[in-house]
Amino acid sequence: MYLCPMFNKPKLAIQDFDYHLPDAKIAYSPAPNRADSKLLVWDQTIIGESHYAQIADFIPSNATLLFNNSKVIAARILFEKINAENNTSVIEIFCLEPTEKYTPVLLAMQATEKVVWHCLIGGAKKWKEDILIKEFVINDDVISFCAKKIKQTDGQFIIEFSWDHPSISFSEILSVIGNIPLPPYIQRKANDQDKDRYQTTYAMEEGSVAAPTAGLHFSAEVFKSLADKNIVQKYLTLHVGAGTFMPVKADTIDQHNMHAEFIEVDIRLIEYLKENAGVPNQPMIAVGTTSLRTIESVYWLGVKALIQKQKNENTFSSTDLQLGQWEAYELAEHNINVEEAMHTLLQYLNSKGTEQLIAKTQLMVTPGYQFKICNGLITNFHQPKSTLLLIIAAITGDEWKKVYHHALENDYRFLSYGDGSLFWMHNR
């Protein structure tokens, strides 16, 4: 790995993280049952192959699994237009994330009468009127729902949605007229099966436009097997943005702009991490790359707060609650343990009288990254030349190539609806 002296950015050729993924290896539909998906286990080499129904067999008692409980919203809204020739065309609005006034995401989902979002638009050239209108029925009330373009910036549109019912929330509207946003490589309409299966069984906090797919394999039976073995289950939130599907187009990873995503972590989880992270024989395992990026980001936010405190600058505020793409690498020179970082975050939250850490993270995990909290990762098999694959390489080094070759040769299914793996890290 080469570091840029000025910005301390890992400079890696994205071509080194490419592999051939045949279309036949991609899972376009889920397995018949969640826990039927295959599981590959890696600890410096492949040490086991099984199914998610038996995942507890590969995890020690007293380990902690960290789950992302974000819920996928029906983020695709279709407006039909009929022209003078009586032909129907469709304009699709894809809600990405709410504007600053309506954040955190919960505010946008609970909004009534009006809300403003950053969106993508399919068929934008067909949208020539000022306002699109759609009528539908909720609880026997006819709702008139409007979409108005405010402005366009960086390939996205800012759209104001409004509706004529003061007690119906945007969340309720999406549940009636919205469509589940399947990954773009799945070239079919979402069906009733997708409504259930492209959602984890424990999803609670609305806000994702893509599923935290590593959790799709966990059924009630799997959770029972974990509990029977005294494997602790903890929950956090990262609202997955559409940027998770964005390919890396730059030649080197330091030129790629990582998308920012909202995270929410309860104060009780931070207290738990303060007491338990780093305890021997009690590994912390992230279920999904989103959980991994969230919990590692929490550590670095604590580091930022502690550094300011050590400088006698008690100025850490809500504006500091964003972790930049490369900040973790810039902060790595500070030797701060997890307990100190969590203690500082707890002091900050207590001073603000809040029990929720709400922040944004752009953390990019690449080879050379030193994991601070996570000792293991449960995840699916990822696309070539993706930031998600870089996370696997950060854990395994070049061994990811052998793992993925093995999976391709042994009929593992890839991507969101596919099979998965459990990776153990050196730091446990």
Please report the domains of the chain, with CATH numbers, ordered by start residue. 10-71+198-424 (3.40.1780.10), 75-179 (no CATH)
Between 129 and 304, residue with greater pLDDT:
304
* Residues 259-268: tens digit of each pLDDT: 889 999 999 9
What amino acid occupies position 20?
Answer: H
For residue 331, give both structure tokens.
Answer: 């902060």
Strand partners, 235: 67
pLDDT of res. 11: 85
* Residues 71-92: tens digit of each pLDDT: 999 999 999 877 666 677 899 9
State pTM to two decimals: 0.93
pLDDT of res. 317: 72
Residues 6+ apart with CB under 8 A from 196: none
The enclosing H or E element of 345 equals helix 338-352
**In the predicted model, what is the mean pLDDT of the chain?**
92
In the predicted structure, residue 25 carries a pLDDT above the cut 50: yes
Q: Which of 80-89, 135-144, 316-325 has the lowest mean pLDDT?
A: 80-89
For residue 79, give both structure tokens.
Answer: 């407006």
Residues 6+ apart with CB under 8 A from 272: 64, 234
* Residues 186-242: tens digit of each pLDDT: 988 889 899 999 999 999 999 999 999 999 999 999 999 999 999 999 999 999 987
pLDDT of res. 313: 66
Q: What is the DSSP letter of 169?
A: B
CB atoms within 10 A of CB 254: 19
pLDDT of res. 173: 96
Residue among 201, 232, 195 at smallest CA distance from 215: 201
